[in-house]
Amino acid sequence: MTDSLETSLALQKLREFDAEAVEDAREFRGEITLYIRKNRLRAACEFLRDSTELSFKYLSDVTAVDNYPLEPRFEAVYHLYSIEHGRRLRLKARLPGDDPRIDSMVPVWPAANAFEREVFDLFGIHFEGHPFLRRIMMPEDWEGHPLRKDYPTTGYR
């Protein structure tokens, strides 16, 4: 379903709920991306899940993007879906390259558990309050985070 910034119900409702939460909003190919301030993310997500008009009860995906060497370097990306209304929404939170930390969304959507572990493992982003934040793809004693852009891809480790 295509959506535009003017008609986006999620953006409008989220601004009503917390005027400070949305830092930036973009639209590309009918997909809405909302940049949320990272300390407001948990509350914003709870609102998006519980509001009957939005009801984003399904967390499709959690991932991250490394914008090295730009700062803020990381973006945590959340793809939400509302099964009742058939709408998608992308949330993003900007994180600094030095010690990236963000609240875990496991209390909001239990589905975030494995996805956040994957992001922690491959990007080194810490999810605060995650019940079991351990490496999931790489061996436990692995050094470095392979999906970071400055991770060496050639030569011996």
Partner 1 sequence: MPITLEKIPGQEERVILSLGPQHPSTHGVLRLVLELDGETVVRAIFDIGYLHTGFEKTFEHLTYSQGITLTDRMDYLAPLSNNLGYCLAIEKLLNLEAPPRAQWIRVLLTELTRIQSHLVWLGTHAIELGAMSVFLYCFREREEILRIFEHVSGQRMMTSYFRVGGLALEPPLGWLQRVEKFMKTFPARIDEYETLLTKNPIWLRRTVGVGTISGPDGIALGLSGPSLRASGVNWDIRKAQPYSSYEKFQFNVPTRTEGDVYARYLVRMDEMRESLKIVRQAVDGLPEGPIKANAPHIVLPDRESMKTSIEALIYHFKLVTEGFHPPIGEVYQTIESPRGEIGFYIVSDGSPKPWRCHVRAPSFGNLQTLIKIVEGRLLADVVACIASLDGVLGEIDR
Identity of the residue numbered 134: R
**Tokens 């692995």 belong to residue:** 142
Stretch that binds partner 1, among 7-15, 16-24, 25-33, 39-47 (CB under 8 A): 25-33
Closest contact distance (angstroms) between CB of 111 and partner 1 is 3
| Nearest distance from C-beta of residue 97 to partner 1, angstroms | 16
- Tell me which stretch binds partner 1 (CB under 8 A): 17-25, 38-46, 96-104, 136-144: 136-144
**Distance separating alpha carbons of residues 122 and 54, to the nearest angstrom:** 31
Q: What angle do CA 79, 69, 65 make, to 5 degrees?
A: 10
Please give the radius of gyration of the chain, using alpha carbons only, rounded to the nearest integer: 16
Closest distance to partner 1 from the beta carbon of 16 (Å): 25
Distance CA 66, CA 137 (A): 18
Residue selected from 18, 60, 126, 133 as contacting partner 1 according to rule CB under 8 A: 60
Interface with partner 1 in residues 75-114 (CB under 8 A): 77, 79, 83, 86, 88, 90, 109-111, 113-114
